[in-house]
Structure 1
Amino acid sequence: METRELRYFVAVAEELHFGRAALRLGIAQPPLSRAIRQLERRLGVTLLDRTNRTVALTEAGSVLLREGRAALDAVDAADRRTRRAALAATGQPGLVLVTKAGASSELLSKLLDAYAAEPGAAAVDVLLCRPGEQERLLRDGRADVALLHRPFDSTTGFDTEELSTEGQVVLLPAGHFLTGRAHLRMADINALPGLPLPRWPGPDGTYPEGPGPEVRDHAQLLQLIALGRASAVLPESCRTQLSHDLATVPLLDAPAVTTVIAWPPHSRSRALAELIQAATRL
């Protein structure tokens, strides 16, 4: 299979509409339809069930959509890493570190300062993202290294070093009647009237069903909590960056959060190795 054919198929499979897929790809619909038919003939399977009004994935099509996405992600990652390797060879060995916005801020600051003090330290670009995006950005090559948080982020397929473990707290508006408690439990949070937990978008950009507000970033979340529209469960290190209109209470039965530094196992970057060494020395 050609990369072009995979991109065409993934677009049709995600849109389930040849016209919209053609518009997304910037091509006319007839050559797109021909390319999909050619791909089906080459594989000897039917990938899409077509009628005059609908397009649906077959079982074989669902498999190729999943595998095709992974293959295209790998191709894109190879492209990005190759370009960065070329920059490194010309004396510009920059690193891209991705982390969830608002998470591990104090640890990240100490890490960047410690690494910058190393002789010959490379420039580090910090990419802040929404919860759950760090893993994808690291896998697809847009980042060289990431700060991930178990048990919420998967570290499967990465090399990792553990940096810290901490408990969790519930974040509430200052003055809320529960802020005077020494501690709470998760059941107390689930029963909070008028302060539902937020809903973050999934990988496809859609929000799960639920009563909580839809949030896009950490700043929006903090503002909603301060306004008394939501609550949140976060690692206790979030306390270092809270304003006066927010308060925290420890949670006894929330799982501990372990921050790890993670990187692709095939990386051969000296700059990355030195950054990881600086992290493990903290």
Structure 2
Amino acid sequence: MPPRLQLLSRASAAVSQPSYSPLAPFLYPALNQQRSASILSSLSDNKTAYNKRIRVGRGPSSGYGKTSGRGHKGQKQHGKVPVGFNGGQTPDYVVHGQRGFDNHFSTEMSPVNLNRIQYWINAGRLDPTQPITLKELSASRCIHGVRKDGVKLLGRGKEELTTPIHLVVSRASAEAINAVEKAGGTVTTRYYTEFAVHKIKQNQMDPIHSLQSRIVLAPESEEGAEAAADALAEEKKHYKYRLPDPTSRKALEYYRDSAHRGYLSHKVAEGHGPSLFFKTPGMGKKGAQRRSRAGGAQAAGGENRLW
């Protein structure tokens, strides 16, 4: 009689087989891949992230002692490479040029303070009844040398200023302007160049008037034009050179500003600003069209009025 397969399978299943585990159960959490909330404590540089400094001449065990890795005698041991040497490669200052040391757009002015001007007036070295320009300041030694862009007026010792004076300088601080005007004087800022400063000190150029300022002094009429022409002709007799006017936008905007007491502030129309870049709102082409339409409507309305 053949064996009963079902009975054999049930008998083998009844025998318990022990399960084998190579590790203890309490080690399972340590083997699972986890990431901490912060990795700042484990940050480190790559091995090639920086080069360690070689300390030479510190004994033979370092490999760079005694002769410091340079060998014996000769130019290779005793000599040094010049500054900027690039191992024979064309130097950077030859390839790219030398630039950036001097700022060609910076302004260089000689400062003068109000207390020094008042001291010079008290000593009789400056005449307060006449306009005080860089020519008078330099000639009286109130300032020692005039730099390439002229003179800047500063407000130190403003409480000492008691004499009304009329100053013509390159630039002036707001504090100095207020102090001079409070004492009954005036401040006018005007444009100077290095060439102009040089010729003014030699009495070969008018320190106050240029072509634009001559036009401003003359009234807008034929007689005014003739008066301006006569003044220019008279100026040519006394001075060899004419004082220049600014051409750059930065200088024009400064001397068009009435807050700086610029001598070109008369060129700014009422309601406009000194800027030559930003347009005053409503003053462009569209604004002119709107104003013309509004003016026509008002005129038409006026004609249809009963009284």
TM-score, scaled to structure 2: 0.21
When the two structures are superposed, what TM-score results if normalisation uses the length of structure 1?
A: 0.23
More strand per residue: 1
Larger radius of gyration: 2
Structure with more relative contact order (C-alpha pairs < 8 Å, separation 6 or more): 1
